[in-house]
Amino acid sequence: MPTGDPLSIDDALTADHVKLDGQFKTLSELIARRSPEGSPALEALAYDLGFHMQWEEEVLFPTLLQTISRYSEHSIESLLIDHERIRSSLAELRTALAQGDFPACAKALDDLHDFLVGHNGEEENGAYSDADRKLPPEERERLVRLWNARTTR
């Protein structure tokens, strides 16, 4: 649940998870209907999700490791492994959709969904809440400012 704190990393990035979840739902519905709009919806989700993960990898995760003494490298490593699994699932889905292999699309969507649900929970209850609780206010402000200044489509 959003805190309403303008310096909340958790609020900012969880709101993006909600947006991405909506894109995933739309994509799933389009693929289930075998709509030609499935491919553009997949590319939009892959772009936005890729941007989100890249920002975490280049900005948030290094900040947590550098700023919080004894922050768990294992936790970050686990999240990075998840990112690779998510990218792999997106690639499998892209291939299956391009081939019109809808049973493979369904499996790739299920895999992607499972990875996203587990991963998002780990971030929201781990890295994001840790950032809110353990980073100094000026560092949280810097991160939120960087997140809000990002440019997407």
Cβ atoms < 10 Å from Cβ of 85? 17
pTM of the model: 0.91
Q: DSSP string covering 78-114, please?
A: HHHHHHHHHHHHHHHHHHHHHTT-HHHHHHHHHHHHH
Question: Using one digit for the tens of pLDDT, what is the confidence trace for 30-82?
Answer: 999 999 999 999 999 999 999 999 999 999 999 999 988 788 888 999 999 99
Question: Using one digit for the tens of pLDDT, what is the confidence trace for 77-124?
Answer: 999 999 999 999 999 999 999 999 999 999 999 999 999 999 999 999
pLDDT value, residue 62: 95
Question: Using one digit for the tens of pLDDT, what is the confidence trace for 11-29?
Answer: 999 999 999 999 999 999 9
Say if residue 2's pLDDT is above 70: no
What is the distance between the alpha carbons of residues 91 and 28, in angstroms, rounded to a whole number?
A: 15
Question: Using one digit for the tens of pLDDT, what is the confidence trace for 123-133?
Answer: 999 999 999 99
